Amino acid sequence: MSVKCDVCFRGCLLEEGQVGFCRARRNVGGAVICDNYGEITSLALDPIEKKPLMRFMPGSMILSAGSYGCNLACMFCQNYSISTTKKEENLLTEISPAEMVEKALRLREQGNIGIAYTYNEPLIGYEYVRDTAKAARAEGLKNVVVTNGCFAERVFGEIIGVVDAMNIDLKGFTKEYYQKLGGDFETVKNFIKMSHESGCHIELTTLLVPGYNDSEGETEAMAAWIASMSSDIPYHISRFFGRWKMEDAGPTPVSSVFKAVEIAKRHLKFVYAGNV
């Protein structure tokens, strides 16, 4: 029997045994399950600023964990080797929520404050994020999610009570650009609004891609929209370097990044240049 996945805007209709576009949700017996639950491809102790989060417990370290799969198709994805691949194409380590929390606790002496769900798109497997975050919070650990934000309100409701901070990609500020990336503009705006209104600490990031989302007008529009929620929301504008299907593309001129930062600062108090 076919069933519709309700995790993100795609609404994939899945036959028995079939996986969705994200490669990580599967129809098993008429229920869409998280097929990458506890399947870890990447694990590292990172500075919190690398997420990037500049105004959430600065100077701290955080255990960063990633699985595989993503519900977008950004042609310049820096983690395409895990975000665009299937389960059988990855080297996986099974780590239960309890085991992940234990790993995080053992790293406290190295400055670790908790767990960051990152590298691939973590919310396609929101169940693992939710369960691990609950267990981590019970031990006094912090939880951070790095996400593209293209998810249904139901998923937001599952994780928001146990997540302390999020960095959410605001990839551009037009419907057309989001369509190029296989995303949905209105969905991400709604996710950002809900996150801000919930009281969760949020920071936003835009990768400035030459010729795609780097016009001064678009930067102005993004910054003004963010400021309409709060001028205190930290905003990261990052320099693009060619990867995956855009490997031959030239990097964003440093001058373009600093100009975008200057424009954004007309509206926002905390604007950061990344990768420069």
Residues of the chain with pLDDT > 70, as a percent, come to 100
Residue 41, Cβ density class (10 Å: 0-12 exposed, 13-18 middle, ≥19 buried)? buried
Instruction: Please check the confidence at residue 1 and state whether its pLDDT lies above 90.
Output: no
β-pair type (3-4, 13-14): antiparallel
171 within a domain of the structure (yes/no) = yes
199 within a domain of the structure (yes/no) = yes
**pLDDT tens-digit series, residues 177-205:** 999 999 999 999 999 999 999 999 999 99
1 within a domain of the structure (yes/no) = no
**Using CA atoms, how far apart are residues 192 and 61, in angstroms rounded to an integer?**
25
8 within a domain of the structure (yes/no) = no
**pLDDT tens-digit series, residues 206-239:** 999 999 999 999 999 999 999 999 999 999 999 9
When pLDDT is averaged across residues 241-245 and rounded to a whole number, the result is 96
CB distance 272 to 234 below 8 Å: yes
Res 84: pLDDT: 95
Which token pair is 118? 């990152």
pTM over 0.75: yes
12 within a domain of the structure (yes/no) = no
* Neighbouring C-alpha atoms within 13 Å toward the C-beta of 255: 0
45 within a domain of the structure (yes/no) = yes
46 within a domain of the structure (yes/no) = yes
CATH code for the domain in which residue 226 is found: 3.20.20.70
Residues 6+ apart with CB under 8 A from 138: none
When pLDDT is averaged across residues 18-41 and rounded to a whole number, the result is 98
Residue 43, Cβ density class (10 Å: 0-12 exposed, 13-18 middle, ≥19 buried)? middle
Give the pLDDT band of residue 55 (cuts 50, 70, 90): very high
165 within a domain of the structure (yes/no) = yes
**pLDDT tens-digit series, residues 110-162:** 999 999 999 999 999 999 999 999 999 999 999 999 999 999 999 999 999 99
Number of independent structural domains in the chain: 1
**If you average pLDDT over every residue of the chain, what do you get?**
98
Residue 56 is part of which domain span?
A: 36-274
> Between the CA of residue 54 and those of 121, 131, 224, 234, 238, what are the distances in Å?
21, 26, 20, 8, 13
